[in-house]
Structure 1
Amino acid sequence: MTQPPPPPPNEPPQGGFGAPQDPPPGGFGAPTPPPQYGYPPQNPQYGYPPQGQQPGYGYPGQQPPYGYPTQPQSPYPPPPPTNNGRKKLSTQAQIILAATVAVALIVVGGIYVANSGGDDTKDDAKNTTSGADGGKDGKDGKDGKQDAKDNGIGGGGKEKAPADVKSTMAFKLATPKVTDITNVSGSWLTDTTFVKTGVNEIVGYDPAKGTQLWSIPLPGQLCAATDHVKDNLTAIAFEAARRTGKTDYQPCTEIGAIDLAAGKLVWRKSVTGPNTGDAKLKFDEITIGAGTVALGGTDGGAALDLATGALRWKPQASAENCTDMGYGGGAGLVVARKCGTYEDPQVSIDNLNPETGAPLSSYKMPPGVAYASIISTKPLVVAADVGDTAGDGSGISDFFSIDEKTGALRAKIPADADTYAADCATTEVESCRDVVVGNDRLYLPTEEHDGSGDYGQTNEIVSFDLATGRTTSDRADAGDRYTITPLRMDGANLIAYKWPPYDKGGQIVSIDGSTFKQTVLMENPSDKAVREAETSFTKGYSEMRFAAGRLFIADAMLSKPSTLNLTSYLAVSFTTG
């Protein structure tokens, strides 16, 4: 898997990927009884090992358009493909290296559109388990691969192709001037508003015109945001005061809920720890699961009611030396918990009662797992780098499909780093990108490889059955010189974005969950100025929101303007309306 330049100091190391196969007989990590530690009043201290560091930030890349012609390389076989050797640099990576522009190592996992039903438990369960009975007995008909069309998967999506898929640029938001690295992660979309994090503020924009509708000032810089939304509410963590200099970083102690429809900060809270007296705990991760705001950080963790901000639990001392590394949200609330010593850790994945924190089930990760990333809570899917075997910085050697009700392992899915392109920030529990769960399947893009033309690269989206762990017959080709990335589910269909070559605009496509047939929903202009605006965002490190014929691409990290004088934007929008 192609990777950005190395992170700056204090960035925790990341892990990598492995090749699809059936789970070993009996598997490992059999379900374990729910632990008796870690919940009020015995709740342990949350966070990372004492030597853990809060992830540092890199500099956001500003780069020329992707897809410039390169010299032909060796042929790439069809999925499941493998290079069986050293990985090639993608066209994008070559451009970045040539331009010597560093990219920000910021991960904004998960794509959410508020007006599509969002994290409402009923809608999430419907969107992610449609056709879940397919593959129970492993009977797939062809080459051991489960066919979606044999199980009624597909349909139910809200996104339809317009009469004319050709889009126009609706607006561009100028990049705010900053003198230091500034976190602006967080983009949300409602029926009436596009909401974007700015510098020390959250701003709501007219989705058609880009004019400002409202602004919520923050006392300090935002330091964590979640893509999850419930009842038009989302949650953020931010610093308590303004920075006065480049090295004057303020602690990230404040928690707030944002009403995205009304443009209001509904409540603001902070939490003290068991050994900190009146000192506030610091956080670097935040999520929403089934109406609960859950936070993790090196100082500990806590949970609050999303609607009121009332404290649900906070860290307590643990005789087992257990810590909550972080949470996964959405339809449920799941914690990645580590017990034991730093030299000999034991990680478990616990499905929680979101109101009390009590464990509903627990799965013991295999030896050699020091961190785990939660991709989906219903169905429960986890990624980990077992024994640091991935070796490519992706944080993934294997995916684990777990029954969230019993804690039993359904399937283990090794994912070869030379074949599949997804990434998780190893020490951040909810940070995975370029991977989507739906239809009881795991959807992954392949790595870029040579296309059928004389130059340029391409890739595909393929899938795995979460019940059996086997590859399916699903395959969605990006097309020559395009690179396809899954964004989110739309009913039982998959919404994906195609990064364009140097002379075309990008595309949004809907992929039928049954036939995997692609329907183009949007095709962006190929005009040079528009094309350059679209491709000014760093591939893999930008936020994308699409709904009802509107696409928003936004930056997640700002830095001092580049000496290359490349044009950058906080966000751009396209529309077919």
Structure 2
Amino acid sequence: MTQPPPPPNQPPGPPPNQPPAGGYGAPPPQPPQNPAYGHPQAPQPGQGPGYGYPQTPPPAPAQNPAYGYPTQPVQPQTVQPQPVPPRSGGNGGMFNRTQWQIIAAAAVAIVLIIGGGVGYSVVKGDDTKNEAKNGTGGTSGGAKDGPAAADGPGKEKAPAKVASKVAFQLPEPDRDDLMAVYGSWVTDKAYVKPGANSVVGYDVAKGTPLWTTDLPGQVCGASRHVTEDNKTAILFEATKRKAPKFYEKCTEVGVIDLNTGKLLWSTSVKGDGDQKAEFTEVTLSGNTVAAGGGLRGGGAFNLKTGAVLWKPKVDAQQCRDLGYGGGKALVAVRTCGEYGDQTTTTIQPLNPDNGTPLSSFKMPAGVDDARIVSSDPLVVAADVGDTGTFGISDFFSVDANTGKQLAKISAPGDTYEARCAASDGVEGCQFVVVGNGRLYLPTAQRFDERTNEIVSFDLATGKAAGGRADAGKGYTSLPLRMDGGNIIAYKTGPYDKGGQVVSINGATFKQTVLMENPGERAIRDVEAGFTTSGSEFRYAAGRLFISERLLGKPRDDDPSFGKKYLAVAFSTAD
């Protein structure tokens, strides 16, 4: 959507020699162009992590280690905090506000959200003195002794010591141009991440390579879902990229065993004529791998054998599967009309064996695509009439059996921090999770305290479900995934502290700190070097892995960009 111009007069930044404010102040990187639709665009210079102040890079090692081997974790340095520059105006920042919204946020205590007829109260810090405190100074709203979350207890438990250390850092792979590195997975023994024309499994504790699977070309898509025996689906290019274009079509589909690194099978299907069909995203559900994103629709394959279950096709009404949401169920986002001028968008739960629709839910007029937040229960995100921010204006809860809408939840992007980037495909939503019959969303940052909350909405009624999880002053809390009935959330830290991982009870909103990252400047700079909008976060069994999704052109000749890493791992293990 077209962003409004910046307000003419921005409030001045804090006076000199004041400690930097927490939160993310720098503009996020622009969403990259998907490789299947053309050459990806480079991130804009100056779009760094933005914890609200300029980052000082840690010292780089004298020699770059060979790719595939972890570097030694950075050593803490004593660096004086830098003064905060004046905040830039317009909608380039991560927390988009017009000037009057900034003033209003500081002047009023209640923001009225038009959604289900319910107003959500954004409580200021002074109003939380009597609420239960968590381990970091944040507060937890909701019933203090209420029932456990409906989906049951989680597996993640607090360690004896929550203070973490840097376990390892993975250097960026050698490259000549932009490189997509979509996907990251964690097993009991390995952290798995795409590299240059390969997928590499690293020791989950040490970061040393366990196995490397070479591919004919670059990984260009990856499923976020994994089977119980640690198999997942990937997309990759048929040949290596070469100058001057450094681009190849994304045509190959495969399944990889994350325990051994073995590529169990790979295949492609024909699209128009003798040309291979192109894909931009892939998911899995049960024994079905479904690939979508192509102009001619999506296709599906048997997870165990690679046999084709259905091929891309477009019917007489120009209807095609845009992409698929996987997990517990398989759901298609189907559009009709000429590409770029879609007339209807329909959500269809599918029989995963043959692609037959089980029901259909027609999205409102003005929706030319949609995102699957959850396949079971079925929750869809959409930007109705191009009125939203971060690709979302509303969430829809749908009865998958009948295709009937249960509830509509209004979620304007200037009020909530969840986002659904168009370049990330049908499953591309971040920082929104579903569980316990609820939708959990992070609110936008409150500028009075540089903090936010996680709140919930009832999927049956669309109304606010009550309770909240306050991130604590200087922290911003972002939900990553469900753990039983608990929410696993990552918290960005203030200027003088590292990030945190917390477990939040989905019913009582009681918070348990699982990890607290080091506050030393050099380590904070590494952590903050991964922007929330452009990184993948994986937490499991006391380990947090943060990795890039897209690597820009090498900038060895410009030291101002600092040392960058493919991934960094934090651990609470001794």
Identify the residue that residue 440 of structure 2 maps to in structure 1.
443
Alignment partner of 1:574 is 2:559: no
The Cα offsets for residues 287-343 of structure 1, whole Å up to 9 and x where unpaired, read as 112221111112432100111111100034512321111111111100011124564
Which residue of the partner structure matches residue 21 of structure 1? none
Contact 1:81 1:419 in 2 (8 A): no
Alignment equivalent of 1:232, drawn from 211, 230, 233: 230
| Distance verdict in 2 for CA 1:344–1:328, change over 3 Å | closer
Partners of 1:65 and 1:502 within 8 A in 2? no
SS in 2 for 1:381: strand
How far apart are residue 57 of structure 1 and its match? Answer: 4.2
The 2-side partners of 1:518 and 1:245 are apart by 51
Residue 160 of structure 2 is aligned to residue 167 of structure 1: no
Question: Hey, what's the Cα distance between the residues in 1 that align with 2:313 and 2:537?
Answer: 38
Corresponding residue for 1:356?
354
Trace 1:99-498 onto structure 2 (pairs within 5 A).
149=146, 153=150, 155-230=152-227, 231-273=229-271, 275-276=272-273, 278-296=274-292, 297-341=294-338, 343=341, 345-390=343-388, 392=389, 394-426=390-422, 428-452=425-449, 457-498=450-491
Q: Which moved more, 1:289-298 or 1:339-348?
A: 339-348
Give unpaired runs (5+ residues) of structure 1. 13-51, 84-144
Q: Which amino acid aligns with 2:171?
A: A
Q: What is the TM-score when the length of structure 1 is the normalising length?
A: 0.76
Deviation digits for residues 471-520 of structure 1 (CA, Å, limit 9, x no counterpart):
12131111111111001001100000001122111100000112101110
2: CA distance, partners of 1:459 / 1:325: 34
1:387/1:473 CA distance change after superposition, 3 Å: same
TM-aligned CA deviation for residue 11 of structure 1: 6.7
CA deviation vs aligned residue, 1:428-448 (integer Å, no higher than 9, x gap): 211111111111111111111
CA separation in 2, counterparts of 1:208 and 1:509?
Answer: 20
Asked if structure 2 preserves the Cα contact closer than 8 Å seen for 1:168 and 1:524, the reply is yes
Distance 1:197 1:299 in 2: 27
1:553 counterpart SS class: strand
The Cα shift of 1:536 comes to 1.4
Please tell me whether residue 4 in structure 1 is matched to residue 2 in structure 2: no
Whichever residue aligns with residue 169 of structure 2, its letter is: K
Q: In structure 1, what residue type is equivalent to 2:43?
A: Y
CA 1:248–1:498: 2 relative to 1, 3 Å: closer
Residue equivalent to 1:25: none
The CA distance in 2 between the partners of 1:508 and 1:152, in whole Å, is: 19
| Letter aligned with residue 266 of structure 1 | L
Task: Give 1:87-98 correspondences, 5 Å limit.
Answer: none
Paired residues of 2:149 and 2:436 also in contact (CA < 8 A): no
- CA spacing shift, 1:148–1:343, aligned 2, 3 Å: farther
CA–CA distance in 1 between the matches of 2:212 and 2:521?
Answer: 33
How many residue pairs end up in the alignment? 468
- For 1:344 and 1:317, the matched residues in 2 are separated by 13
Deviation (angstroms), 1:425: 2.3
My pick for the range that moved more, 183-192 or 558-567, is: 558-567
Deviation (angstroms), 1:270:
0.7
Counterpart contact for 1:372–1:426, Cα < 8 Å: no
Q: How many percent of aligned residue pairs carry the same amino acid? A: 53
Q: In 2 relative to 1, CA 147–385 (structure 1 residues): closer, same or farther, beyond 3 Å? A: farther
Q: Which moved more, 1:293-302 or 1:351-360?
A: 293-302
Amino acid at match of 2:553: K
Query: What's 2:547 paired with?
Result: 554
- Please tell me whether residue 523 in structure 1 is matched to residue 520 in structure 2: no
Deviation of the 1:216 alpha carbon: 0.3
- Distance in 2, Cα, partners of 1:148 & 1:322: 51
AA aligned to 1:199 is: A
Tell me the residue number matched to 2:134.
Answer: none
Query: Does 1:539 pair with 2:536?
Result: no
Task: Tell me the C-alpha RMSD between the 2 structures.
Answer: 2.7
State the secondary structure of the residue aligned to 2:385. Answer: helix
Cα distance in 2, alignment partners of residues 289 and 80 from structure 1: 39
Structure-2 separation of matches of 1:506 and 1:309: 41
CA, structure 1 residues 493+574, in 2 after alignment: closer, same or farther (shift >3 Å)?
same
Structure 2: runs of 5+ lacking an equivalent: 4-24, 54-82, 88-101, 115-141
Distance of 2:182 and 2:314 partners within structure 1: 32
Residues 334, 346 of structure 2: 8 Å contact kept: yes
Partner of 2:69 in structure 1? none
Q: Closer, same or farther in 2 for the Cα pair 1:81/1:543, shift >3 Å?
A: farther
Distance (Å, rounded) in 1 between the aligned partners of 2:261 and 2:551: 23
Secondary structure of 2:358's match?
A: strand
CA contact (8 A) 2:538 2:544 kept: yes
1:180/1:478 CA distance change after superposition, 3 Å: same
SS of 2:429's equivalent in the other structure is coil
2: CA distance, partners of 1:256 / 1:375? 24
User: Would you say the 8 A contact 2:39–2:247 is kept in 1?
Assistant: no
Query: SS of the residue aligned with 1:288?
Result: strand
Bigger shift: residues 247-256 or 370-379: 247-256
Q: CA deviation at 1:58?
A: 3.8
> What is the letter of the counterpart of residue 305 of structure 2?
T
